[in-house]
Amino acid sequence: MTSPDAISLITVSYNSARALERFWAGHRFVPYQWTVVDNNSSDDSREVARRLGARVVALDSNQGFSAANNVGASVTDADVLIFCNPDVTVTPDGIATLADQVRRTGGIVAPQLVNADGSLQENGRGIPYLHRKVLHLLGWDDPGYVRLAKAAEVIDVAWVMGAALAVTREDFLRVGRWDPGYFLYYEDHDLGLRMRSAGLPVRINGDVRWTHGWRRETRRNLTVAAWRNEFRSAARFYRQHPYCLVPLPGRAADQVRRLGVV
């Protein structure tokens, strides 16, 4: 088993006091390290995180999800990094399982996220072709895009939601960390595809199930800021991964074949 000292939990907070109270208070994650990087919250996220047992890194401005995650990784010397959102409830046995698996296989290993009622949440995906993204936003999924891991099942995916995932420090640095050019959204698509491009697996372990609150502003609140971040990140992603625009033959198809997933 992996030593607890070799594992670090990293959480990015931004006005997340209520989520931290709901999903972390009273739940055991000790003896594992927990670092909360706060993106200049205006609520008491920092105080709540400290009270719950986290080491808090307070940023002077909101640097976005990717940049803050990179800060969290830089302040710990643990060789296994588990990035987990404020609205995720982690479990000690799940932490150990993810860490042991990622040290054996490399790449990314994520839990199967679940809703409060225990139903499976769609945190694993296939190749994010543009038409798949549009259909998913409209509620009409392309078959094979959403991937769910059943109990005792480990499945290969193209990418996993950044809400909860484990990676070794070695592989994290090998692929270039989180891309700070993504302020919010699509950073997890990018990280997953860079892992697979490097020949590393991206998987979901169906035996590790963590509850996730999952509030997507672009679907529910329709805020201008959320949509602005969505479109900016989408534009960056498809510039960097043009083979994901449409499933065309030729070079694009060759790149997808190298990823090893569809």
Instruction: For residue 214, list its beta bridge partners.
Output: none
Read off the pLDDT of residues 224-260 as tens digits, 9 standing for 90 and up: 888 899 999 999 999 999 999 987 777 777 888 888 8
Q: Cβ neighbours of residue 110 under 8 Å, at least 6 residues apart?
A: 98, 123, 124, 160, 161, 164, 165, 166, 202, 203, 204, 205
**Strand-strand pairing, 124-125 and 80-84:** unpaired
Read off the pLDDT of residues 21-61 as tens digits, 9 standing for 90 and up: 999 998 777 789 999 999 999 999 999 999 999 999 999 99
pLDDT at 172: 98
* Arithmetic mean of pLDDT, 16-23: 97
pLDDT at 1: 55
Q: How confident is the model at residue 215 (pLDDT cuts 50, 70, 90)?
A: low
Read off the pLDDT of residues 159-185 as tens digits, 9 standing for 90 and up: 999 999 999 999 999 999 999 999 999
Read off the pLDDT of residues 89-122 as tens digits, 9 standing for 90 and up: 999 999 999 999 999 999 999 999 999 999 999 9
